[in-house]
Amino acid sequence: MTALAVHLSGISKRFGAVAANSDVELRVAAGTVHALVGENGAGKSTLMSVLYGLYRADAGTISIAGEVVDIRNADDAIAVGIGMVHQHFMLVDTLTALDNVMLGAEPHWSLGRAQSIVRKELIALMEATGLQVPLDAQVLSVSMGERQRLEILKALYRGAKILILDEPTAVLTPQETQTLFEVLRKLKSRGTTILLITHKLHEVMALCDAVTVMRGGCVVADLPVAQASVEGLALAMVGRKVNMGPVTHTQTGASDKTLLLQTSDLNLRDSMNVSRLVSINLDLYAGEIVGVAGVSGNGQSELLEVLSGMQKPQKGRLTLSRQLFDSAQWLDPVKARALGLAHVPEDRHGRGLVMDFVAWESAVLGYEALPHYRSGVWMNHAAMRKATADFLDRFDVRPRDPELKSHKFSGGNQQKLVLARELGQSPKVLLVGQPTRGVDIGAIEFIYGQLRAMRDAGCAVLLVSSELDEILALADRVVVMNLGRITGTLDIAQCTQEKLGLMMAGGTP
């Protein structure tokens, strides 16, 4: 038998009335890639947080390489060779990549000497693993793929032989995902054991050796990937049959051709005077979903921020619900909401939620001035709690506890909480960024249904997604962006992955 790198036995963990893990058994063979899959709230991240020392289990034992260990905190985990790369990167944006790696693990009292020692070790690590990162660049200036590689380098520099990766491809482009997979295969060949938390079952089939499925805090399946199938894993995760193929697309188009949002000649430069949006002309009609396709970093994020009033362009016009705004007097988020525009931001942590707020506070954030949330000049907390309870039930947010802190929900349930808040106000225009990032397959199916229902109710939906399959499944029209420009607009019937990919690269179909 292959030696076990990790053996979790009888792990149980409760948060109040919620049993996050119940008598969990997990065996991970050394030098393998082992997937941990399940719905949002199934207990995957909690289990890995126990292994990494972020939580203490209520019961059970942890064995590393055959020896029982007591992991009380992350320092203990690092000491026994465990590293964790979180879904939301733990990096200091204003520091260089080099300084991020050595932060808290400086090998010498002299900064210059410490940097020299760490640089030498990192260059050797990068050559051995293929994890190439610009060491002298500030983190805020590098791509998501480079940040991912930096996090892995940071763990390896600290001696990790066991790597826990939480949704590692959630923020990566397809090209960056392939690069990451090549690196992980190389690490595996060097004897590193990799635990992969993911919702993307095709990635499990392509990369992993074994897979454990969790549901409701328990292990419901544990098998070699060679004996698994996408359909079987989906059934085990959700407990029912899930449509895992391309969703059948029913094109409704813009049935009444009511123009709800229009931009003219939008131009945006960032603080470094780099062009982010160039001459953007866009029309959104009632009863349609317009998908925005493009490789990450080509202006899609800036487009959402400008249209939602979070950034002001240097030039251009916007018409929203027949009101005209220009660069001298631009739309602001409060006015946008008043005119029926809702925004689901790409970054649910940084822009969508206040993580220390309880669920009912996050569920009304930005809408607290609405009449049904007020009693005269005072906020009506009882009405807010009741509305939140309805949101949690309607959008299947788990657990259904309006008093639970936002950071206590799993990533997918945080996303559903943001969607509930924005869709729950029945907007006329809905801006959505990466709606299913880090979300499980059951929730994806649900979110797709909600977006289609908004379209069918007459809402104009602008969808930014890095997943071409998602755009092809949902959009009535597709706008393609490259280097801040719209390079083309196609009806969904004209779209293929190949054609969109060529346009995303700046080519002509």
Residue 176 class from Cβ within 10 Å (0-12 exposed, 13-18 middle, 19+ buried)? buried
| 3-class secondary structure, 10 | strand
**Do 220 and 268 reside in the same domain of the chain?**
no
| Antiparallel, parallel or unpaired: β 429-433 and 341-344 | parallel
**Do 85 and 114 reside in the same domain of the chain?**
yes
**Do 208 and 273 reside in the same domain of the chain?**
no
Examine residue 452 and state whether it is found in any structural domain, yes or no: yes
**Do 225 and 189 reside in the same domain of the chain?**
yes
**Do 332 and 198 reside in the same domain of the chain?**
no
**Do 234 and 333 reside in the same domain of the chain?**
no
Residue 223: strand pairing partners: 211
| Residue of 19, 448, 34, 37 whose CA lies nearest to 236 | 37
Examine residue 291 and state whether it is found in any structural domain, yes or no: no
How far apart (Å, rounded) are the C-alpha atoms in residues 46 and 239? 21
Consecutive 10-residue averages of pLDDT for the chain (509 residues): 88 88 95 91 90 94 94 92 85 88 86 88 87 87 82 88 88 75 90 91 93 93 94 85 50 66 95 90 96 87 95 96 93 94 91 93 93 91 95 90 90 90 94 86 85 95 89 94 92 87 75
Examine residue 282 and state whether it is found in any structural domain, yes or no: no
Predicted local confidence at residue 269, as pLDDT: 94
Token pair in block for residue 117: 């020692």
Our measurement of the distance from residue 424's CA atom to the centroid of its chain's CA atoms, rounded to an integer in Å, reads 21
Residue 21: strand pairing partners: 13
Predicted local confidence at residue 249, as pLDDT: 47
**Do 359 and 330 reside in the same domain of the chain?**
yes
**Do 270 and 234 reside in the same domain of the chain?**
no
CATH number for the domain that contains residue 45 = 3.40.50.300
Examine residue 176 and state whether it is found in any structural domain, yes or no: yes
How far apart (Å, rounded) are the C-alpha atoms in residues 6 and 30? 8
How far apart (Å, rounded) are the C-alpha atoms in residues 444 and 432? 14
Q: What does the DSSP 8-state code read for residue 2?
A: P
Query: Which amino acid, residue 456?
Result: D
| 3-class secondary structure, 18 | strand
**Do 90 and 177 reside in the same domain of the chain?**
yes
**Do 354 and 206 reside in the same domain of the chain?**
no
Examine residue 297 and state whether it is found in any structural domain, yes or no: no
Predicted local confidence at residue 256, as pLDDT: 59
| Residue of 323, 368, 328 whose CA lies nearest to 341 | 323
Examine residue 250 and state whether it is found in any structural domain, yes or no: no
Query: Which amino acid, residue 326?
Result: D
**Do 187 and 102 reside in the same domain of the chain?**
yes
Structurally, the chain folds into a number of domains equal to 2
**Do 322 and 188 reside in the same domain of the chain?**
no
Residue numbers of the domain that contains 100: 4-238
Q: What is the pTM of this model?
A: 0.70
Predicted local confidence at residue 509, as pLDDT: 65
CB 316 within 8 A of CB 267: yes
Examine residue 509 and state whether it is found in any structural domain, yes or no: no
Examine residue 338 and state whether it is found in any structural domain, yes or no: yes
Predicted local confidence at residue 242, as pLDDT: 63
